[in-house]
Structure 1
Amino acid sequence: MKCILCGSDNTNKIDVIKKDDLISLYKKAFDINVENIIKQDLFYHHCCDCDLRFFTLENGEIPSGDDGFYNHLNKLPWYYMQEKNEYHFAKQFIKKDSRVLEVGCGKAAFASFLPNKQNYIGLEFSSDAKKLAKQNGINIENISIEEYSKSNKTKFNIACSFQVLEHVTNPYSFIHSQIKCLNWGGAAR
């Protein structure tokens, strides 16, 4: 199995997580039915070159949540936190005129840390999160970064994501697409 981040062949399969066990755990812990997402046992891999640990299905695909999955998580009070230490760190790099793209933004809590939320666009799969953000005057689009980057090249000074990479099916494409959205003066954080 090639590493999903660095492409190395130097990976090891660490464990197998049984599909039925995972489905049962999600149901018990969060009352979420993930049968439509987890259709096979998961393989837990480790890349010896970049140290990434990741899950795949037997066929090499990476399962990912859908709108229903993230809408359900939205209802859990701890899922989309209003404040994270990362927000305080990241805001020091953002000026009043910075155009900011946040990918995997949840309900766009980070926008409240910005000097000008009018220059903010968030990308998020959850349609419920989009509705919550709209109530606060924040623009979110329900589209993948890969699709968004096709028509939004070089439009942003800052591209960021917070606690999102573990949800991504193709980290390389995810990061590369964010970079395509940055202008020459931009910074990927």
Structure 2
Amino acid sequence: MERVSAKLLHDLWRLGARVEPEPLRRDGGSIGLYRSPCGLMFFHPAAAGSPAFYQAFYERFRGYEMLGRQAATRGDFRAGAALARPGDRVLDVGCGEGAFAALLPAGARYTGLEPHGAPRASPHVLAETAETHAARRPGAYDLACAFQVLEHAADPLGLASAMVGCLAPGGLLVLAMPVWPSPHTEIPNNLVNLPPHHLTWWNEGACRALAARLGLEVARVEALPAYPSQAVVHWTRLLCAPRARPGRRVRAGWRFHAAIGLAYGAAKLLAPVLGLPPGARPLDIVLVARKPARTLIATGT
């Protein structure tokens, strides 16, 4: 679909976000954006952000604090919490400081995984990967969630498979990811939706293909209505004169960069006052799928 210059992308992260985009190399040639037959958009080679990148990124933009403040109004959190019942064992992969726990019903037993080690995390947050946890606690959960996590993984199928390994028979997998097309994919040079931060963009076909590969029964796939904390993205898209188009999602030029920067700066001022603009479209998609209650074993006669 498109070739993105690693040099340009590296410079945009360093100059625009003031973050070193490890492991992205300035002399890395180019990165391809591809579309699979199921509809998944993915970058290759898939170089996921390093722990040092995420530590700097979240410190620079106070990411953990922001996620904690937004928890109660986040549509993905609310969709996941609505599926939990009192007494359920709930796993939250890539949980940050565990803000999702506050939305669960009384009596639900929460465990969060944050491999990068979130500051000020509760004792219920473990600094380990889903793969390590699945090996240690197979089939231990009734609900396994990952909110805005799968798009960061170089191997999303492997991550989702590890989460399924953590589920008891009949348990639910809940995944929320950025949807495309959306205002996110219409803003050019939108770093939060580019490597090494986001490596995949999702739609209904991609979600259903993932569930099929995992052997799960799809309960629901739907785009989530826009929610208040997404207002900055929507205003940026409305105020930004340049538009990202197929083949031209990442572009060079100081006038081009200035237009995007001014739109983002104005959006940050308008969003707290005006909230979501009228007609705000979804930015996320949620997949809810069930692990089979029992495994059928074929026998010969």
TM-score (norm 2): 0.51
TM-fit CA distance, 1:166: 1.0
2:132 to 142, 147, 161: 147
> Aligned pair 1:96/2:86, yes or no?
yes
Identity of aligned residues (%): 25
2: CA distance, partners of 1:142 / 1:101:
13
Decide whether the 8 Å contact of 2:85 with 2:108 is kept in 1.
Answer: no
CA radius of gyration, larger in? 2
Name the residue aligned to 1:73. 57
**1:31 corresponds to 2:41:** no
Q: CA RMSD in A?
A: 1.9
* 1:180 aligned counterpart, secondary structure: helix
Q: Report the equivalent of 1:175.
A: 160
What TM-score results when the alignment is normalised by the length of structure 1?
0.79
| Runs (4+) off by over 6 Å | none
Query: 1:78 Cα deviation (Å)?
Result: 5.3
Task: Return the alpha-carbon distance in structure 2 between the equivalents of residues 166 and 22 of structure 1.
Answer: 18
Gap change, CA 1:173 and 1:117, over 3 Å in 2: farther
Query: Which 5+ residue runs of structure 1 have no aligned equivalent?
Result: 1-13
1:7-49: per-residue Cα shift (whole Å, max 9, x none)? Answer: xxxxxxx111111111111112221112x311323111111x2
Counting matched residue pairs gives 165
Question: Residue 117 of structure 1: CA displacement?
Answer: 7.8
Distance 2:57 2:106 in 1: 28
Letter of the 1:147 counterpart: T
Aligned counterpart, 1:11: none
User: Alignment partner of 1:184: what SS?
Assistant: strand
1:187 corresponds in structure 2 to 172
The Cα shift of 1:116 comes to 4.5
Aligned runs of 1:48-127 on 2, under 5 Å? 49-57=37-45, 62-75=46-59, 76-77=61-62, 80-82=66-68, 83=71, 84-116=74-106, 119-127=109-117
Letter of the 2:126 partner, please give it: E
* Structure with the largest fraction of helix: 2
Matched residue, 2:274 = none
* Pair 1:43 & 2:32 matched: yes
CA distance in 2, matches of 1:29, 1:125: 27
Shift of 1:118: 7.2
Which ranges of structure 2 fall in alignment gaps of 5 or more residues? 175-301
